[in-house]
Structure 1
Amino acid sequence: MTATAHEPLTQEEDLLEGFLALETPEGFRAELIDREIVVTPPPDGEHEHYISRIVRQVLRRSETDMDFSGNKGLMLKSGEACPKDHVIPDVTFAPLELGLFRTADSWMPCDEVAMVVEVTSTKPQTDRVAKRRCHARGGVPLYLLVDREDSMVTLFSDPDKDDYRRLPKRVFGDPLPLPEPFAFSLETKDFL
């Protein structure tokens, strides 16, 4: 990505290079989302409560044995005019048999990812719109969003270009069916 003496960096390459060189304070995470560098503080306890409940259910109830990674850096395909989005979902799931996370670099492609999970935090609009579109462009098949402000859980599926075609929603307390490879209904009673 580094330009030679004859080729200056484009604005997009310069942005990506600056992002990759960024040093964030301990516990914070930086992401490159739709040409914007987003820095997020460490999550609060309620945020982690939702993550815990989802991970426990997926590991216990999924039809396929799943592996997961918290805060795994994903490089997502994006438009020709912009650099690859670099996002860090709260949780990333992949089939255990793939061993996807063991050999992954800090930033890995999302080709074999089964589902990513986001719980809204200090910038909920980023999770609701920008990250959703990034994951759809990257071809991530399932994007599960826990929206704390709206007390809703949404499963975005069937990615098409820069969005998802299906988005079943449930209020906290109602189960949300997850398709294969998960094939169970996510209980959200503990979200109340």
Structure 2
Amino acid sequence: MTPTPAERSLISVEEFEELARTAPETVRLEFINERIEVKPVPDGDHREIIMWLQDACREQRPDVRLYAEAGLKIEGYRKGRAITDAALAPRKHFAGHGEWSDPEGVLMVVEVTSDDTDTNRRDRMEKPSGYAAAGIPVYLLIDRDRAMVTVYSEPKDGEYLSILSRPYGESVQLPDPVGFTLDTEELKDFAD
């Protein structure tokens, strides 16, 4: 069945990738839900949270790495392209990949909310759907606005069947294939 004009994207994935390649360094572009999204450049607390999580992952799972700002093809979700705040994958997983990698083999993606008007739609609604549709086993949302950590897991038919939220300071189990408990006490240092 041929899509109607209203169902077709105004820009192709290839056109988006060219646009993203030539965008200034002060912005990051994503293609989610057939729309171009401007992702804010991380602030200092955002970067510190990612570094904290990298250390935690390395302590618990020395066989994997947490790659900051990984570009993933979330094809199952309207031919999207998402820049994760971080992606947990086996060491050297992204070697030889271009700017946009297939999500196969990625164990977990991470988003840290930013102080912008699109956070609710992007990080709490669209990205969970996109990551679940791509089959990424675990999505970890570090929600600075709510001082909460949310773990999405068990992707099926474009949604995560399991969603668990805990306030900063509580331990949270990251299910297999990640398979470790994350102590979130240090996140209190970054609460507003």
TM-score range, shorter chain: 0.7 to 0.9
Percent identity of paired positions between Structure 1 and Structure 2: 33
Alignment pair present for 1:189 and 2:182: no
Q: TM-score, normalised by structure 2?
A: 0.86
Shift of 1:48: 1.3
CA positional deviation for 1:72: 1.1
**Structure 1 runs of 4+ with >4 Å offset:** none
Q: Using a 3 Å threshold, how does the CA distance of structure 1 residues 181 and 16 change in structure 2: closer, same or farther?
A: closer
Residue 69 of structure 2 is matched in structure 1 by 71
- Partner AA of 1:157 in structure 2: S
Alignment of 1:85-104 (within 5 A): 85-96=80-91, 99-104=92-97
Could you tell me which runs of 5 or more consecutive residues in structure 1 were left unpaired when the two chains were aligned.
1-9
Equivalent position of 2:111 in the other structure:
118
State the partner residue of 1:21: 18
Please tell me the root mean square deviation across aligned C-alpha atoms, in Å: 1.7
Task: Please give the secondary structure, in 2, of the residue aligned with 1:107.
Answer: coil
Displacement of 1:40: 1.8
Secondary structure, counterpart of 1:168 in structure 2: strand
Deviations 1:101-125 (A, max 9, x none): 1111111100110000000112311
User: What's the CA shift string for 1:35-88, capped at 9, x where partnerless?
Assistant: 1111123111111121111111001112x6102321111001225xx3x11001
TM-score, with length taken from structure 1: 0.86
Equivalence for 1:56:
55
1:134-154 superposed Cα distances (whole Å, 9 cap, x missing partner): 000000000000011111001
Cα distance change, pair 42–14 in 1 and its aligned pair in 2 (3 A): closer
Contiguous gaps of at least 5 residues in structure 2:
1-6
Query: Would the aligned equivalents of 1:143 and 1:157 in 2 still touch at CA under 8 Å?
Result: yes
